[in-house]
Each structure stands twice: as C-alpha cells, then as structure tokens.
C-alpha cells in the first residue's frame, strides 16, 4: 500500500510537468485500455485513477489557456485594442459566420 502511495506521488509530480498534448494522448491510451476490457480489476482501478488525474490536469490547462486568450480588435481609427476573451462573443461570431455561408 505504501509503495502505491509513493508511485502515485511520483506520478503527480510527473503530471505537473506534462504538456497538455502529452497528457491528452496518455488519457486517450488509458481510455482505450479500459474499453478493451483486458485489465485486471486492480489495474483497471489504477488506470481509472490516473485517468481522472489526467482529465483534471487537461481541464486545468484548458482553463488557463482560455484565460490567456485575448481578442485584438481594430478600432475605427486603426489602433489596436486588447480585450479579454469573452466566450459568448466568440460563439456569436462563429454563429454569424456559419449563417453567412448558407
């Protein structure tokens, strides 16, 4: 039991350094392994726990990236203004583009 705690502590440290793409790829592999159904119960539980941690890491990284996104808008006089990203405004612009293509 103690050995497992050490392994998971080391795993947490490695995850903190992991890039989003690497974490997502590893999470996809875990999902494939779990869906395959060829794991023992203990292995499946270990994979599931690791997958939950990776999922939280990916969600946290996405949220951080979302907060960093800024939309640059040109004003009428040609100057550039930086505004924080607003999800609803981006969705409206996306819907407007889709509507105009029809």
Per-residue pLDDT of 23-65, as tens digits, reads 999 999 999 999 999 999 999 999 999 999 999 999 999 988 8
pTM comes to 0.58
Cα(74)–Cα(57) distance, rounded to whole angstroms? 35
Residue 84 bridge partners (DSSP): 70
Between strands 80-84 and 70-74, the pairing is: antiparallel
Query: pLDDT band at residue 8, thresholds of 50, 70 and 90?
Result: very low
pLDDT score for 51:
97
- What is the reported pLDDT for 46? 97
CATH number given to 2-67 = 1.10.287
Nearest to 1 by CA among 54, 61, 42: 42
Domain ranges across the chain: 2-67, 70-101
What pLDDT score does 11 carry? 56
Average pLDDT score over the chain: 76
pLDDT, tens digit, for every residue of 74-93? 566 767 666 666 666 555 55
């Amino acid at each position: 039991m103690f050995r497992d705690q050490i392994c998971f502590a080391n795993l947490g440290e490695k995850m903190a350094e992991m890039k989003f793409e690497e974490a997502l790829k590893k999470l996809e592999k875990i999902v494939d392994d779990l869906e395959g159904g060829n794991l023992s119960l203990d292995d499946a539980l270990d994979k599931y726990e690791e997958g939950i941690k990776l999922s939280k890491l990916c969600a946290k990284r996405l949220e951080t990236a979302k907060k960093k996104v800024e939309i640059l808008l040109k004003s009428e006089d040609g100057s550039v203004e930086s505004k924080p990203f607003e999800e609803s405004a981006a969705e409206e612009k996306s819907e407007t583009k889709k509507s105009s293509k029809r």
